[in-house]
Structure 1
């Protein structure tokens, strides 16, 4: 699940919010957003109230949030919210005060502009940053996200197969922000026999109080670590789907959790277009473990061995009978998986085609999948204006694979530099793409 499809979500907001703000801008200052008059405020609050009534996983709380927002508008509480960004922030805070749901959020206005060097997630391919063989036959893998299995299975198979034969296995989810529950279940499948229950997602049917249940079970994997002791490293930053992985293996008694209590977000979330460029991330489901009959919402996953996250690797190595080393680079004897260094075929051309269509005002149908097209079309005028201000696109340079299984590019325009990530389906159409995030200007002296 992301901090931020029916998925257990992640800070890589690409899974949750089309053309959304990437993690690199999390400490940014908001750019000026569109101004609001009273009529626009009424429309936004009304649409948000309807969305909470129709979508939120717990209908009673959804109704409570809706009634509170409506009353706040009538009382004049939002009268001085002059921009979409400010009104969205207040709606978010008021809703969170009722639900205490860490996945519930409201976004409005343009993407923030980053102050200073952007913060970056580590290089990862389909959520995996590295796999290593450590001293004493210990295997190590870091997983920072769980992209949909159709994007990640090949990479997960390669990394886990490279660790086959390990006498102990360390799985590091300290920086994991979430993802797709099917992918979570697939990684768990490497540790347990096939066809075992792992996790359920109970989802509310839109505009009703009815629910559906989707059950995830283990499946056969190319290699198995069934008889290998497993240590899972956690931190307070482990969130959503990263927490689900830790919770599942702990409930199955299949791993020892070492580190810190996790963030406490267990409700799958998806985007709802409100109006006026405002998007609400509204959880419409909840996780339910088949063993515990509950989840980690609001409390996090408590480790079996509580230690500071920075010490977790050292403690795990000691428990595995190896020399305790805190840094994976120092502990590694052989790195057996690294993210690829070349782009996927056709991804660079897809970037150019999409940006050209947006800049020229032509249709993006046929370039992106229909679901993505319907989600981003309301924002196209604003993005066209942004591209107009940037001027001619001069270069599209592959930077690295992104965490979802796609590619990240550095873009140089006549009037600035940006970066953009995208994921393509097997038919060559774009499944998801990020917003343009600022890059540092090129140094003319270099």
Structure 2
């Protein structure tokens, strides 16, 4: 059903989004500027629209106008979303989890004992995904080389990133550090010292496929493995979103997505925000699997 102008009360949605920015956005100075911009645009009538989807589009454009943060948005959901913090994203992910074999929709053995494992459309919460990912990663563990396809992966859970890395490394390894908005708390991410099932391990050839759609936690997986010198990244530069986000429902169909921290890689001392993960072997995304296979076959020879 289309949301009518009478049903859509714009002001409280925009005001609440502005206050959430001030309370939670990882960069307080930017938050103040953006909150002022939203309130000024509200007063000017820029958000006088009839549909929640159009309001989300306009507010998102303004939210990203200052520093281009792709995690910062007023996200529209076609179906009504729960009011609990973070529940909107989880509700949207549930159906995708069920229809993608838990986030590992394709396992393929190619010529020369080269395996391809597609992780898509997301790196789902580890509590959901541990079992299907263990099955898929155990299945490819005996291969002589592995291609991990992240071209259609748009993000997910950092704990799942660490879990996958545990299967692709030989020992517990520092992957990433999150610095949170309050400035007093940081959280390190490490690959687990032990994993269920078999490990592919840290010495056999490993290739990671990326596209311009690869985003967020999927970018972290590619970036972590690249910075450790563990994987060769093949494909296109990724979307460039490195800030962990939280979501707040501000309307039955609108979720304010606000980054609450920033990632710092222990090797590079920085992250992929704004730049994306830069491939070691650049090529169009639709050619990346064949290019990685050729590289793996040559290395194995």
Q: What range describes the TM-score normalised by the shorter chain of this pair?
A: 0.7 to 0.9
- Whole-Å separation in 2 of the counterparts to 1:214 and 1:44: 32
Residue 72 (structure 1) aligned to one of 41, 58, 79: 41
Residue 153 (structure 2) aligned to one of 176, 180, 198: 176
Unaligned runs of 5+ in 1: 1-30, 113-119, 323-446
Residue 130 (structure 1) aligned to one of 106, 109, 120: 106
Q: Which has the larger radius of gyration?
A: 1
Q: Which position in structure 2 is the counterpart of 1:52?
A: 21
Say whether 1:33 aligns with 2:3.
Answer: yes
8 Å contact kept, 1:83–1:109: no
Per-residue deviation, 1:49: 1.1
Q: What SS is found at the alignment partner of 1:190?
A: helix
Q: What SS is found at the alignment partner of 2:105?
A: strand
Q: Which position in structure 2 is the counterpart of 1:213?
A: 186
Listed one character per residue, the Cα deviations across residues 65-104 of structure 1 (whole Å, up to 9, x for unaligned) are 10111122233333x3234333332211111112311111
Q: 1:41 to 1:163 in 2, by over 3 A?
A: closer
Q: 1:100 to 1:169 in 2, by over 3 A?
A: same
- Whole-Å separation in 2 of the counterparts to 1:213 and 1:50: 24
8 Å contact kept, 2:3–2:50: no
- Whole-Å separation in 2 of the counterparts to 1:95 and 1:125: 35
Q: Which position in structure 2 is the counterpart of 1:234?
A: 210
TM-score by length of 1: 0.59
- Superposition pairs for residues 30-429 of structure 1, below 5 Å? 32-36=2-6, 40-78=9-47, 80-107=48-75, 111=79, 123-144=99-120, 145-204=122-181, 209-219=182-192, 220-221=194-195, 222-224=197-199, 225-275=201-251, 278-321=254-297
Q: 1:202 to 1:318 in 2, by over 3 A?
A: same
Per-residue deviation, 1:211: 4.5
8 Å contact kept, 1:185–1:199: no
8 Å contact kept, 1:200–1:214: yes
Q: What SS is found at the alignment partner of 1:99?
A: coil
Comparing 292-301 with 270-279, greater Cα deviation is found at: 270-279
- Whole-Å separation in 1 of the counterparts to 2:76 and 2:130: 34
Comparing 268-277 with 219-228, greater Cα deviation is found at: 268-277
8 Å contact kept, 1:107–1:280: yes
- Whole-Å separation in 2 of the counterparts to 1:241 and 1:269: 11
Unaligned runs of 5+ in 2: 81-94
Q: Which position in structure 2 is the counterpart of 1:351?
A: none
TM-score by length of 2: 0.85
8 Å contact kept, 1:176–1:238: yes
Question: Pairwise CA RMSD of aligned residues?
Answer: 2.4
Per-residue deviation, 1:64: 0.8
Q: Which position in structure 1 is the counterpart of 2:92?
A: none
